[in-house]
């Protein structure tokens, strides 16, 4: 099936015979910064955040962008300038968020394995809330806060055991997942938390999975969490905020991704009568369709069974196809008007799983540029140096300007971290 750019417009669109990112021709970006490179549209980032902010006008709510989806400082800064908070999962992400201008009071800290050092850093920073994911984590946090003479604000991440109906690797709200505490255990752990001297119970948290295309599991999870909130209230524990996590899906191919309105309105309706601040942790939805990976066709290898187009980007740059069999639209930067053939779009890495797309109808020649669309989320953030491939450059377009926001790594930089035996 042929790729369609309609859902990327107006930020990524073919104008005057070639793909533009906002007002900048993609060929200019490739020429100036080289390929492969990630390119993001600032206007697209802002538009996706605004979709949330507009739905939340007049509501006591905080959008905490999930840093792990795309943690480039310039991306974080675009969101921080618009008042967003951040959902972090490591001390490294906390440092990034602060370097990008985040307000500490708008940072929530998720993750199942927070170290004592990470806890101390976040406590001293004065973050909004720790999303605690287990009973032993609660004890450790109490100890660390005590040693610093501080009190740790916490939410318990509860596992509502709802089926997010997404890929098993990115489903997190089922009993068999490693995340959060079992719904049945939450009350007892909250009671323990309320009794700890260096813990301050402030909220409740759940995150049921990623790339959800049906909003109903969110409502189902919320119902369960509200029930728990009532049980907690009955036992004398009052919460101030409810964190509904992230997970709203995007359109990669032809999926019907829900609007932010259809996702949020049912939730807001259920929360209307309650005086709870709402925290949201969208990741993919804010950045996924705001980025593309530009790559160049190196060689064409037509064959009897399959035709291979070997491009200069690979699974180390964009792991999602190899990891989840994920689909990304692949479009020519300068479309040709010759007849397309079917191509396997593969990278130079020595793995058969190194593909970016299967059976794509494209009219291409060596040297052509391709754009791998919807690569703004879990693209660069999941990249690696496998095969000693330096990580690629990242560029952000703002109107008619393209800015380098992360320069390409060099092999020398990679080798500099290593040493020979004496
Ligand atoms: C990954 C993650 C998110 C963001 O998920 P998306 O699917 O990218 O929106 C939010 N909260 C937590 C706890 C996460 O682990």
Q: What is the 3-state secondary structure (H, E, C) of 179-205?
A: CCEEHHHHHHHHHHHHHCCCEEEEEEE
Q: Answer yes or no: is the C-beta of 110 below 6 A from any ligand 1 atom.
A: yes
Q: Answer yes or no: is the C-beta of 285 below 6 A from any ligand 1 atom.
A: yes
pTM attached to this predicted model: 0.96
Ligand 1: nearest atom to the Cα of 69? 8
- Asked if 185 and 177 touch (Cβ cutoff 8 Å), the reply is no
Q: Distance, CA 70 to ligand 1 centroid (Å)?
A: 11
**C-alpha pair distances (Å), 248 with each of 124, 219, 239, 290:** 32, 12, 25, 15
Would you tell me how many other CB atoms lie within 10 Å of the CB of residue 308? 15
- Asked if 218 and 163 touch (Cβ cutoff 8 Å), the reply is no
Residues near 89 by beta carbon (within 8 Å), at least 6 away in sequence:
67, 68, 109, 110, 111
Q: Distance, CA 179 to ligand 1 centroid (Å)?
A: 12
The yes/no answer on whether domain 110-282 falls in CATH 3.20.20.10 is: yes
The residues with which 397 forms a beta bridge, in sequence order, are 41, 402
Q: Indicate the helix (H) or strand (E) that contains 156.
A: strand 152-159
Q: From CA 223, how far away is CA 13, in angstroms rounded?
A: 41
Ligand 1: nearest atom to the Cα of 285? 9
Ligand 1: nearest atom to the Cα of 68? 1
Q: What's the pLDDT at 1?
A: 46
List the structure tokens of 240.
């101030």
Angle between helix axes 42-55 and 73-81 (nearest 10 degrees) is 40
Q: Distance, CA 316 to ligand 1 centroid (Å)?
A: 22
Q: What's the pLDDT at 352?
A: 86
Q: Answer yes or no: is the C-beta of 91 below 6 A from any ligand 1 atom.
A: no
Ligand 1: nearest atom to the Cα of 282? 9
- Asked if 50 and 413 touch (Cβ cutoff 8 Å), the reply is no
Q: Answer yes or no: is the C-beta of 68 below 6 A from any ligand 1 atom.
A: yes
Q: Distance, CA 174 to ligand 1 centroid (Å)?
A: 15
Q: Distance, CA 173 to ligand 1 centroid (Å)?
A: 12
Divide the 422 residues of the chain into consecutive groups of 10 and give the mean pLDDT of each group.
Answer: 79 97 98 98 98 98 98 98 98 98 98 97 98 97 98 96 70 70 96 98 96 95 97 97 97 95 98 96 98 98 95 98 96 97 96 94 98 98 98 98 98 98 98
- Asked if 396 and 74 touch (Cβ cutoff 8 Å), the reply is yes
Q: Distance, CA 386 to ligand 1 centroid (Å)?
A: 25
Ligand 1: nearest atom to the Cα of 131? 13
Q: Where are the domains of the chain?
A: 2-41+288-415, 110-282
Q: Is 358 helix (H, G, I), strand (E, B) or coil?
A: strand
Q: Answer yes or no: is the C-beta of 66 below 6 A from any ligand 1 atom.
A: yes
How does DSSP assign 359-408, residue by residue?
EEEE---TT-EEEE-S-SSSSGGG---TTTPPPPEEEEEETTEEEEEEPP
Residues near 2 by beta carbon (within 8 Å), at least 6 away in sequence:
340, 361
Q: Which of 48, 64, 67, 68 to mutate to test ligand 1, by most ligand atoms within 8 A of the CB atom?
A: 68
Q: Is 37 a catalytic residue?
A: no
Q: Answer yes or no: is the C-beta of 210 below 6 A from any ligand 1 atom.
A: yes
May I ask the CATH class of domain 2-41+288-415? Answer: mainly beta
């Amino acid at each position: 099936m042929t790729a369609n750019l309609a859902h990327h417009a107006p930020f990524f669109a073919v104008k005057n015979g070639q793909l533009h990112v906002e007002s900048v021709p993609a060929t200019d970006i490739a020429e100036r910064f080289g390929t492969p490179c990630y390119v993001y549209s600032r206007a697209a980032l802002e538009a996706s955040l605004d979709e949330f902010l507009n739905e939340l006008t007049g509501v006591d709510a905080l959008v905490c962008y999930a840093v792990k989806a795309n943690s480039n400082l310039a991306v974080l800064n675009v969101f921080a300038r618009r008042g967003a908070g951040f959902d972090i999962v490591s001390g490294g992400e906390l440092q990034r968020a602060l370097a990008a201008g985040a307000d500490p009071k708008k940072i929530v800290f998720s993750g199942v394995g927070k170290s004592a050092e990470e806890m101390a850093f976040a406590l001293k920073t004065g973050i909004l809330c720790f999303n605690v994911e287990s009973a032993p984590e609660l004890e450790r946090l109490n100890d660390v806060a005590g040693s610093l003479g501080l009190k740790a604000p916490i939410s318990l991440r509860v596992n509502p055991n709802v089926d997010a109906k997404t890929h098993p690797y990115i489903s997190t709200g089922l009993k068999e997942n490693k995340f959060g505490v079992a719904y049945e255990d939450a009350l007892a752990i909250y009671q323990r938390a309320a009794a700890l001297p260096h813990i301050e119970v402030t909220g409740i948290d759940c995150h049921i999975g990623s790339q959800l295309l049906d909003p109903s599991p969110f409502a189902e999870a919320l119902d369960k969490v509200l029930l728990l909130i009532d049980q907690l209230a009955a036992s004398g524990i009052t919460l101030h905020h409810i964190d509904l996590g992230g997970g709203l899906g995007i359109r990669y191919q032809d999926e019907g991704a829900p609007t932010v309105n259809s996702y949020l309105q049912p939730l807001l309706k259920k929360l209307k009568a309650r005086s709870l601040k709402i925290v949201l942790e969208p990741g993919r939805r804010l950045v996924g369709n705001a980025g593309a990976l530009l790559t160049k066709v190196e060689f064409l290898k037509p064959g009897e069974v399959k035709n291979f187009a070997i491009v200069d980007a690979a699974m180390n740059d964009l792991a999602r196809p190899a990891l989840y069999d994920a689909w990304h639209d692949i479009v020519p930067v300068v479309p040709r008007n010759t007849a397309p053939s079917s191509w396997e779009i593969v990278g130079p890495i020595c793995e058969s799983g190194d593909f970016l797309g299967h059976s794509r109808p494209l009219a291409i020649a060596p040297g052509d540029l391709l754009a791998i669309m919807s690569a703004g989320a879990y693209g660069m953030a999941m990249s690696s140096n496998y095969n000693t491939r330096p990580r690629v450059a990242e560029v952000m377009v703002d109107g008619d300007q393209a800015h380098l926001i992360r320069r390409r790594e060099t092999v020398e930089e990679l080798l500099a971290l290593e040493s020979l035996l004496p």
